[in-house]
């Protein structure tokens, strides 16, 4: 009886976890809906940080999706205006610290250090939490350190075998920004970023190694690899439309 009660409480807590986080923002207002992607604006909880939510369907495994969003070395490939990105410290296969640098038009450059953790909730359900780490390293006086960054991915498989992703983001960019950039970051940017991310994952632009190395059998052989160097091409950048 005690075990049954525990399982009931655990399952109920898991099922309601995402909805309770959604409730934290009280109401979500839809902003765009197209191509199995829907974006929303939420109620502001943190000063100057408008929460956004994006839901989308993607025809890859949860593991493929998580590999992409935790491959910080390639964030500059799919996030517009991100010019540098890298993992700065790996704790284990599910946890690391990372850094990104953002250069937007008509505004000071910005950067942020984050802590990323992957949580496996069930055989087909995961969460990824990426949050800023205050004072992780000294600030550059010529760059605005992003004061608040919170990114939460819910990843699961539906009854049709498709991967469903919900992404909640809450970021205060700090400093001053032109009105058009603020409007872009709250409205079109969340939708376009997830659309670009999906395209890059499907096209395998965010893999940690070149796919052709595994396919041609050269990946585990340095001798064969050296003979295949003429095949190597720079990965295609998945572009967004700039504001």
Is residue 223's pLDDT more than 80?
no
pTM of the predicted protein model: 0.79
| CA separation for the pair 68, 238 (Å, rounded) | 13
Segments making up each domain of the chain, as ranges: 31-231
Sorting pLDDT into bands at 50, 70 and 90, what band is 189? very high
Q: Given this model, what pLDDT does residue 26 score?
A: 66
Domain 31-231 matching CATH 3.30.530.20: the answer reads yes
Q: How many other CB atoms are there within 10 angstroms of residue 114's CB atom?
A: 21
Residue that wins the pLDDT comparison between 232 and 80:
80
Closest C-alpha among 86, 155, 144, 140 to residue 114? 86
Contact between residue 153 and residue 166 where contact means Cβ atoms under 8 Å apart = yes
Is residue 230's pLDDT more than 90?
no
**30-75: per-residue pLDDT in tens?**
999 999 999 999 988 888 899 999 999 999 999 999 999 999 999 9
**110-167: per-residue pLDDT in tens?**
999 999 999 999 999 999 999 999 989 999 999 999 999 999 999 999 999 999 999 9
Q: Given this model, what pLDDT does residue 242 score?
A: 55
């Amino acid at each position: 009886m005690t075990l049954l009660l525990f399982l009931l409480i655990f399952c109920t807590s898991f099922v309601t976890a995402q909805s309770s986080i959604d409730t934290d923002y009280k109401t979500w207002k839809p902003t765009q809906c197209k191509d199995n992607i829907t974006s929303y604006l939420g109620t502001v909880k943190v000063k100057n940080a408008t929460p956004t939510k994006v839901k989308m369907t993607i025809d890859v495994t949860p593991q493929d999706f998580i590999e992409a969003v935790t491959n910080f070395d390639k964030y500059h490939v799919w996030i517009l205006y991100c010019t540098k990105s890298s993992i700065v410290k790996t704790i284990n296969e599910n946890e690391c610290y990372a850094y990104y640098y953002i250069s937007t038009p008509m505004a000071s450059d910005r950067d942020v250090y984050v802590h990323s953790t992957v949580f496996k909730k069930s055989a087909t359900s995961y969460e990824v939490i990426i949050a800023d780490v205050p004072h992780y390293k000294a600030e550059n006086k010529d760059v605005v350190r992003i004061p608040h960054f919170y990114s939460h991915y819910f990843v699961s498989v539906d009854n049709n075998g498709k991967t469903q992703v919900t992404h909640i983001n809450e970021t205060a960019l700090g400093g001053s920004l032109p009105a058009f950039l603020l409007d872009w970051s709250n409205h079109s940017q969340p939708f376009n970023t997830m659309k670009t991310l999906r395209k890059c994952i499907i096209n395998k632009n965010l893999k940690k190694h070149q796919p052709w190395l595994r396919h041609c059998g050269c990946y585990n052989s340095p001798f064969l690899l050296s003979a295949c160097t003429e095949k190597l091409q720079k990965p295609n950048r998945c572009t967004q439309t700039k504001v």
